Structure 1
């Protein structure tokens, strides 16, 4: 992989981390509707550590870099979020080892690996009203756009748009995992905080992509 590949991955991770820190209150307020309200705090503290340790991470290759991110956030994020996000980065790290370059197809492979890791670690499936209900359909759409020959800008826009649409659509679902599941049918009518957080993070990454 090239230095450009690593720089692109660094941009994605740094934007993700900064958004998690900046949106702490918003994510917490979303989670407080039917959950325990700690999503914003947990993500902010974990990714705050990533930002603080940014210059210390080894950058031998993408896999090494992502593995260190996984360790960093897992050591700081509490509750269920730490293991899930740590697993996501670790699985993405493993997937990157088989890639020659970081292009759209590679991004799909890494996103799928991350989502699969979250599914297994959290014993969650699509429709359970989790962040997967935004991440997986958005990844599916990205893959479709690439296969259809869409240009890079169109692929990115479709990825972000689908993440937002699917996050909003979680209003119709009943939570099956996490603290929100304790609310049962009362969780219907409010979007899943994790799914919305994923959509917002993706939107920020896409919005800044051409300026990176």
Structure 2
């Protein structure tokens, strides 16, 4: 009986030892080196920051509107809105902004042929913007007519930083008609202002 108890005790010790060793091995196999994972995650995040991640559409849109072409378009739209409101002072101020934006336009990123076209367009557009800064509202509208054509031609080369609608008034310029650009499809006529506010139609989207 005594020998049986001793044998049972030894057997229990052996089982306990084997269980402890087994648990230890399982813990080592299932354990994770968090320092290694953290280092790898940091490297992955770094790679995304350096070039893997793409900006959101909102960010890209904001950058486009702050570009040199975006600046010209924004000043043009301010001019258009001033003419819609029959506001000669705001139109002149917007014209000044356009003159400066045209003067500072950098064409170095464009091909040689495009640079030549842009030079001709910008020189003409700048001249009409200068006249807008010093003319009565009737003459401002005359120069705005040609300026709008220049800007449309320019955007065919540079692309537009935002969605624009080319609109057309059939009554202006001795019924020859004239175009302008707007961010809205709603007609707000800059050639007749408040007297014929909704005269015109959308020709195309830019």
Q: State the TM-score, normalizing by the size of structure 1.
A: 0.30
- Structure having the larger proportion of residues in strand: 2
- Structure having the larger proportion of residues in helix: 1
- Where relative contact order (Cα < 8 A, 6+ residues apart) is larger, the structure is 1
State the structure with more CA Rg.
2
